[in-house]
Amino acid sequence: MSDGQANPRTRDPDRSREAILDAAESLFADRGYEGTSLQEIGRLAGVSRGTPGYFFGSKEGLYGAVLARAFAAELDLVAGARARATESGGPEAELAAAIGSFVDFLAARPTFVRLVEREALAGGARFRAAPAHAATMAAGLATTADILARGPFRPVDPAQLLLDVLALCWFPIAHATTFARGLGLDPEGADFVETRKRHVVELVLRGVRNG
Protein backbone atom coordinates (compact mmCIF):
# COMPACT_ATOMS: atom_id res chain seq x y z
CA MET A 1 0.00 0.00 0.00
CA SER A 2 1.18 3.52 -0.74
CA ASP A 3 -0.89 5.51 1.80
CA GLY A 4 2.00 5.80 4.21
CA GLN A 5 0.56 3.36 6.79
CA ALA A 6 3.33 1.15 8.07
CA ASN A 7 2.98 -2.42 9.28
CA PRO A 8 0.70 -2.37 12.34
CA ARG A 9 3.47 -3.97 14.40
CA THR A 10 5.61 -0.88 13.93
CA ARG A 11 2.89 1.74 14.68
CA ASP A 12 0.75 1.81 17.82
CA PRO A 13 -0.65 -1.73 17.94
CA ASP A 14 -2.66 -1.23 21.15
CA ARG A 15 -4.42 1.79 19.72
CA SER A 16 -5.15 0.03 16.42
CA ARG A 17 -6.43 -3.01 18.31
CA GLU A 18 -8.83 -0.93 20.44
CA ALA A 19 -10.00 1.05 17.40
CA ILE A 20 -10.79 -2.21 15.58
CA LEU A 21 -12.64 -3.61 18.59
CA ASP A 22 -14.65 -0.37 18.95
CA ALA A 23 -15.56 -0.41 15.26
CA ALA A 24 -16.45 -4.10 15.35
CA GLU A 25 -18.65 -3.76 18.47
CA SER A 26 -20.49 -0.87 16.87
CA LEU A 27 -21.02 -2.55 13.46
CA PHE A 28 -21.97 -5.95 14.90
CA ALA A 29 -24.49 -4.11 17.12
CA ASP A 30 -25.97 -2.10 14.24
CA ARG A 31 -25.99 -4.68 11.44
CA GLY A 32 -25.48 -8.05 13.07
CA TYR A 33 -22.68 -10.54 12.51
CA GLU A 34 -23.73 -11.62 9.01
CA GLY A 35 -24.20 -8.05 7.83
CA THR A 36 -20.70 -6.92 8.79
CA SER A 37 -17.38 -7.52 6.97
CA LEU A 38 -13.79 -7.28 8.19
CA GLN A 39 -13.24 -4.72 5.46
CA GLU A 40 -15.94 -2.37 6.77
CA ILE A 41 -14.62 -2.76 10.29
CA GLY A 42 -11.13 -1.82 9.12
CA ARG A 43 -12.49 1.20 7.24
CA LEU A 44 -14.46 2.46 10.28
CA ALA A 45 -11.43 1.89 12.51
CA GLY A 46 -9.21 3.85 10.14
CA VAL A 47 -6.63 1.11 9.75
CA SER A 48 -5.23 -0.43 6.61
CA ARG A 49 -7.14 -3.17 4.88
CA GLY A 50 -5.27 -6.16 6.23
CA THR A 51 -4.98 -5.01 9.85
CA PRO A 52 -8.19 -6.56 11.34
CA GLY A 53 -7.26 -9.95 9.89
CA TYR A 54 -3.66 -9.49 10.98
CA PHE A 55 -4.72 -8.92 14.61
CA PHE A 56 -7.72 -11.23 14.94
CA GLY A 57 -7.34 -13.87 12.22
CA SER A 58 -10.99 -14.00 11.14
CA LYS A 59 -14.35 -12.32 11.63
CA GLU A 60 -15.24 -15.05 14.12
CA GLY A 61 -12.02 -14.38 16.03
CA LEU A 62 -12.76 -10.66 16.11
CA TYR A 63 -16.33 -11.28 17.30
CA GLY A 64 -14.99 -13.43 20.14
CA ALA A 65 -12.50 -10.69 21.02
CA VAL A 66 -15.31 -8.08 21.15
CA LEU A 67 -17.24 -10.26 23.59
CA ALA A 68 -14.12 -11.06 25.61
CA ARG A 69 -13.32 -7.36 26.02
CA ALA A 70 -16.88 -6.49 27.09
CA PHE A 71 -17.13 -9.38 29.54
CA ALA A 72 -13.70 -8.57 31.00
CA ALA A 73 -14.78 -4.96 31.56
CA GLU A 74 -17.97 -6.15 33.24
CA LEU A 75 -16.20 -8.64 35.50
CA ASP A 76 -13.59 -6.02 36.46
CA LEU A 77 -16.29 -3.54 37.38
CA VAL A 78 -18.31 -6.07 39.41
CA ALA A 79 -15.23 -7.48 41.14
CA GLY A 80 -13.96 -4.00 42.01
CA ALA A 81 -17.31 -2.89 43.40
CA ARG A 82 -17.65 -6.10 45.37
CA ALA A 83 -14.14 -5.79 46.83
CA ARG A 84 -14.90 -2.27 48.07
CA ALA A 85 -18.23 -3.46 49.49
CA THR A 86 -16.66 -6.37 51.38
CA GLU A 87 -14.67 -3.97 53.54
CA SER A 88 -17.70 -1.94 54.51
CA GLY A 89 -20.75 -4.13 54.68
CA GLY A 90 -20.61 -7.87 54.03
CA PRO A 91 -22.70 -9.99 51.66
CA GLU A 92 -25.72 -7.65 51.36
CA ALA A 93 -23.47 -4.74 50.47
CA GLU A 94 -21.62 -6.97 47.99
CA LEU A 95 -24.84 -7.98 46.26
CA ALA A 96 -25.93 -4.33 46.12
CA ALA A 97 -22.55 -3.30 44.71
CA ALA A 98 -22.62 -6.04 42.08
CA ILE A 99 -26.09 -4.93 40.93
CA GLY A 100 -25.10 -1.26 40.88
CA SER A 101 -21.94 -1.87 38.91
CA PHE A 102 -23.79 -4.05 36.41
CA VAL A 103 -26.34 -1.28 35.78
CA ASP A 104 -23.46 1.18 35.30
CA PHE A 105 -21.76 -1.20 32.88
CA LEU A 106 -24.88 -1.62 30.73
CA ALA A 107 -25.78 2.07 30.75
CA ALA A 108 -22.24 2.90 29.57
CA ARG A 109 -22.23 0.19 26.90
CA PRO A 110 -25.46 0.22 24.87
CA THR A 111 -23.66 -1.29 21.85
CA PHE A 112 -22.98 -4.44 23.87
CA VAL A 113 -26.67 -4.69 24.79
CA ARG A 114 -27.68 -4.29 21.14
CA LEU A 115 -25.10 -6.81 19.97
CA VAL A 116 -26.41 -9.45 22.38
CA GLU A 117 -30.03 -8.65 21.52
CA ARG A 118 -29.22 -9.36 17.86
CA GLU A 119 -27.43 -12.53 18.85
CA ALA A 120 -30.47 -13.74 20.81
CA LEU A 121 -32.69 -13.17 17.75
CA ALA A 122 -30.19 -15.13 15.65
CA GLY A 123 -30.37 -18.15 17.96
CA GLY A 124 -27.42 -17.45 20.26
CA ALA A 125 -25.12 -20.21 18.93
CA ARG A 126 -22.26 -17.84 18.08
CA PHE A 127 -22.57 -16.07 21.42
CA ARG A 128 -22.52 -19.29 23.44
CA ALA A 129 -19.58 -20.60 21.37
CA ALA A 130 -17.36 -17.64 22.35
CA PRO A 131 -14.92 -18.82 25.07
CA ALA A 132 -15.40 -15.58 27.02
CA HIS A 133 -19.10 -16.33 27.44
CA ALA A 134 -18.74 -19.62 29.30
CA ALA A 135 -15.98 -18.18 31.48
CA THR A 136 -18.07 -15.12 32.38
CA MET A 137 -21.20 -17.13 33.17
CA ALA A 138 -19.13 -19.45 35.37
CA ALA A 139 -17.55 -16.49 37.18
CA GLY A 140 -20.97 -14.85 37.64
CA LEU A 141 -22.47 -18.05 39.04
CA ALA A 142 -19.55 -18.60 41.42
CA THR A 143 -19.83 -15.01 42.70
CA THR A 144 -23.59 -15.31 43.17
CA ALA A 145 -23.31 -18.65 44.95
CA ASP A 146 -20.56 -17.31 47.21
CA ILE A 147 -22.56 -14.23 48.21
CA LEU A 148 -25.69 -16.31 48.81
CA ALA A 149 -23.77 -18.80 50.97
CA ARG A 150 -22.32 -16.13 53.27
CA GLY A 151 -25.30 -13.84 53.67
CA PRO A 152 -28.42 -13.79 55.82
CA PHE A 153 -30.27 -15.17 52.78
CA ARG A 154 -32.89 -17.84 52.23
CA PRO A 155 -31.98 -20.79 49.98
CA VAL A 156 -32.19 -19.59 46.35
CA ASP A 157 -30.87 -21.19 43.16
CA PRO A 158 -27.85 -19.02 42.19
CA ALA A 159 -28.62 -19.47 38.47
CA GLN A 160 -32.18 -18.16 38.94
CA LEU A 161 -30.95 -15.23 41.02
CA LEU A 162 -28.27 -14.31 38.50
CA LEU A 163 -30.92 -14.51 35.77
CA ASP A 164 -33.09 -12.13 37.86
CA VAL A 165 -30.28 -9.61 38.24
CA LEU A 166 -29.42 -9.78 34.54
CA ALA A 167 -33.11 -9.34 33.67
CA LEU A 168 -33.79 -6.45 36.04
CA CYS A 169 -30.69 -4.53 34.90
CA TRP A 170 -30.75 -5.45 31.20
CA PHE A 171 -34.42 -5.19 30.25
CA PRO A 172 -34.85 -1.42 30.84
CA ILE A 173 -31.82 -0.69 28.62
CA ALA A 174 -32.76 -3.19 25.89
CA HIS A 175 -36.40 -2.04 25.97
CA ALA A 176 -35.80 1.64 26.63
CA THR A 177 -37.80 2.68 23.57
CA THR A 178 -40.55 0.07 23.85
CA PHE A 179 -41.72 -0.87 27.35
CA ALA A 180 -39.78 1.54 29.54
CA ARG A 181 -40.90 4.60 27.62
CA GLY A 182 -44.38 3.10 27.32
CA LEU A 183 -44.52 3.10 31.13
CA GLY A 184 -43.54 6.76 31.30
CA LEU A 185 -39.94 6.01 32.33
CA ASP A 186 -36.95 7.45 30.46
CA PRO A 187 -33.88 5.20 30.67
CA GLU A 188 -31.83 7.93 29.00
CA GLY A 189 -32.90 10.48 31.62
CA ALA A 190 -30.40 11.88 34.11
CA ASP A 191 -31.76 10.20 37.23
CA PHE A 192 -33.04 6.93 35.75
CA VAL A 193 -29.87 4.92 36.37
CA GLU A 194 -29.59 5.87 40.06
CA THR A 195 -33.34 5.44 40.69
CA ARG A 196 -33.33 2.07 38.98
CA LYS A 197 -30.28 0.89 40.93
CA ARG A 198 -31.85 1.76 44.29
CA HIS A 199 -35.12 0.13 43.25
CA VAL A 200 -33.55 -3.13 42.01
CA VAL A 201 -31.15 -3.40 44.97
CA GLU A 202 -34.02 -3.02 47.44
CA LEU A 203 -36.29 -5.47 45.59
CA VAL A 204 -33.57 -8.13 45.31
CA LEU A 205 -32.20 -7.76 48.86
CA ARG A 206 -35.69 -7.97 50.37
CA GLY A 207 -36.51 -10.74 47.92
CA VAL A 208 -33.69 -13.03 49.05
CA ARG A 209 -33.38 -12.00 52.70
CA ASN A 210 -34.01 -14.72 55.25
CA GLY A 211 -37.20 -14.85 57.30
Q: Which residues bind its own copies (CB under 8 A)?
A: 114, 116-121, 123-125, 127-128, 133-134, 137, 140-141, 156-157, 159-160, 162-164, 166-168, 170-172, 174-185, 195-196, 199-200, 202-204, 206-209
Q: How far is the CB of 145 from its own copies (least distance, A)?
A: 12
**Distance from C-alpha of 60 to C-alpha of 41, rounded to nearest angstrom:** 13
When the beta carbons of 12 and 157 are compared against its own copies, the nearer one is 157
Are 3 and 44 in contact, with CB atoms under 8 Å apart?
no
Secondary structure (3-state) at 124: coil
Q: What are phi and psi for residue 146, nearest 5 degrees?
A: -65, -45
End-to-end CA distance of the chain: 70
- Minimum distance from residue 30 beta carbon to its own copies (Å): 9
Closest contact distance (angstroms) between CB of 34 and its own copies is 14
CB of 139 to its own copies, least distance (A): 12
Q: Given the complex with its own copies, which of 65 and 67 has the nearer CB atom?
A: 67
Nearer to its own copies, 91 or 140 (CB): 140
Comparison of 93 and 115: residue with beta carbon closer to its own copies = 115
Q: How far apart are CA 119 and CA 45, in angstroms?
A: 22
Minimum CB separation of residue 169 from its own copies in Å reads 8
Q: Round to whole Å and give the CA distance between 44 and 28.
A: 12
Query: Helix (H, G, I), strand (E, B), or coil: what is residue 164?
Result: helix
Inter-CA distances, 193 with 173, 178, 203, Å: 10, 17, 15
Nearer to its own copies, 8 or 140 (CB): 140
